[in-house]
Amino acid sequence: MSSGTGAASDTGTGAASGTGSDAASGRGGGSRERILARIRAAVADAPDAPEAARDYLDTHTPDERVIDLLAENLADYRALVHRTDSEELPALIARLLAERGARTVLVPPLLPALWLSALSSVGTDLVRIEDDPTSTAQELDVVDSVITGCALAIAETGTLVLDAAPDQGRRRITLVPDHHICVVRTADQVVGSVPQAMPRLDPTRPLTWISGPSATSDIELDRVEGVHGPRTLEVILLSE
């Protein structure tokens, strides 16, 4: 009985070991080798692949439509869109902060001083907070509003792109405060499409792509805003 059991065990183990070795090495017509052989045979006489065509359109939006399309798509994403010129911009920013009831506003280090020149009209209680690299998320969470510029805006997707330049500040300041005012210079910062945007962006910089205020929804599609970023996004389209 013992001898028979041992023989069966030895024979079974040896057979399993041999099969596994052959499959792993490809000997004995393993499935992997058969598949690869068929692929090699199928493409043996195939011509070289042609160069990829690069003559496709990089946008579907005429230049004269990009600003209007950007405004439409931003609004479709529930951003609040305003249009103004350089002369009226300071008063508009002050009005938006006053309507928000902001008592604190955070500004990046090189935000143009002209943009903030009317803040005194909001009231003496408004406190301007400079961007501080040591500030924590908890400290930023009590800030009422933040004002930034942007790197680019994309009309066809209604997207703002920030790259942490000195007029935009660190990515954190545009994610934690509940109210974000972003100024877009329409003369040189609006493109029609993502393919037009990519060559103008530096991939080594921390790029933040914003399409409307932060929003998420659960399995029942109940929309909740402000979970991953500002609950309210206001975009100012600034003409010259």
Residues in the chain: 240
pTM of the model: 0.75
Residue closest to 196 by CA, chosen among 84, 47, 59? 59
Kindly list the distances between the CA atom of residue 161 and the CA atoms of 31, 153, 202, 212, in Å, as whole numbers in the listed order: 49, 6, 11, 11
- DSSP letter (8 states) at residue 76: H
pLDDT tens-digit profile of 114-134? 999 999 888 768 999 988 888
pLDDT tens-digit profile of 17-57? 444 444 444 455 689 999 999 999 999 988 888 888 878 88
Cα–Cα distance measured from residue 219 to residue 81, given in angstroms and rounded to the nearest whole number: 30
Cα–Cα distance measured from residue 1 to residue 103, given in angstroms and rounded to the nearest whole number: 91
Residue closest to 190 by CA, chosen among 221, 219, 161, 228? 161
- In sequence order, which ranges of 44-192 are alpha helices (DSSP H)? 66-76, 89-100, 137-141
